[in-house]
Amino acid sequence: MIRNSQPKFRGLLAATMFAATVAASTDVTAALVTVSYQGTVDSFTDVNGTVGAVSSISGSFVYDTEAPVLSSSSTRTIYSPAVTSMLVQGGGSIFPATELSGSSIIVDNNFAFYDAIQISVALDDAFGYESIVIRFNLEDTDGSLFSSTSLPTSLALSDFPRRAEFSLTGNKPGTARNLYDLRIDGDLTAFHSNDATVVPLPAAFPLLVAGLAGLGYLARRKR
């Protein structure tokens, strides 16, 4: 048994060393982009009367430029989940967001003759409402902003003169999803990204881990 395992051990060792070499020289770079925003409220509906007066919203969120692609075409790509953290404050109320698996970002490149980005994040149930979602819709005027449908590493309100809007909607339990008992709509007055945080990931890292695990297993068998 020991003699038969020697060639396998040496082969796996060689493969692991090769993976380590590739991993050290080949990186896939992801970036975490933090966006801060503010907006003024144009219309406000609060059937429960539990949110309180809201004349503006503010907060921030973080998205991953290497988020999984849900669907893609030559002019539109949908990424989900894309947002890794979210803060929403309206008036004196804070809307929590702890479950972000349903978040999505849509990037349009020359879609209907303009470029656009749409961010949707499901928030936690709060203030007697459920299915709470905040959405940001931003569009340029002529389709010249983006060169592809990749997630951008920087964003600025001035890039989107055609439209820069937000909406926050929610329902009381039992209400149809398209009949909003909570709705806050308005225009963004600030929307900008900070410096992106680069997160390098070795491209061969999974292979390296698998190889090391295999070496450990064969070493235990030799004993």
Phi, psi of 43 (to 5 degrees): -140, 145
Give pLDDT tens digits for 32-86.
999 999 999 999 999 999 999 999 999 999 999 999 999 999 999 999 999 999 9
Q: What is the pLDDT of residue 208?
A: 46
Overall number of domains in the chain: 2
Domain that holds residue 207: 1-26+203-223
Please tell me whether residues 144 and 188 are part of one structural domain: yes
Counting residues of the chain whose pLDDT is more than 90, the rounded percentage is 66
210 has a pLDDT exceeding 60: no
In angstroms, the CA 49 to CA 123 distance is 19
* Same-domain check for residues 111 and 210: no
Count other Cβ atoms within 10 Å, centred on residue 181. Answer: 19
What are the tens digits of pLDDT across the range 122-159?
A: 999 999 999 999 999 999 999 999 999 999 999 999 99
Task: Give pLDDT tens digits for 80-124.
Answer: 999 999 999 998 899 999 989 999 999 999 887 899 999 999 999
d(Cα 121, Cα 99) in Å, to the nearest integer?
9
Contacts (Cβ under 8 Å, ≥6 apart) of 100 = 81, 83, 84, 85, 86, 121, 122
**Residue that has been written with the tokens 């999803």 in this structure:** 177
The Cα–Cα gap between 16 and 21 comes to: 9
**Cα 94 versus chain centre, distance:** 20
User: Is the domain of 128 the same as that of 211?
Assistant: no
Do 7 and 93 reside in the same domain of the chain? no
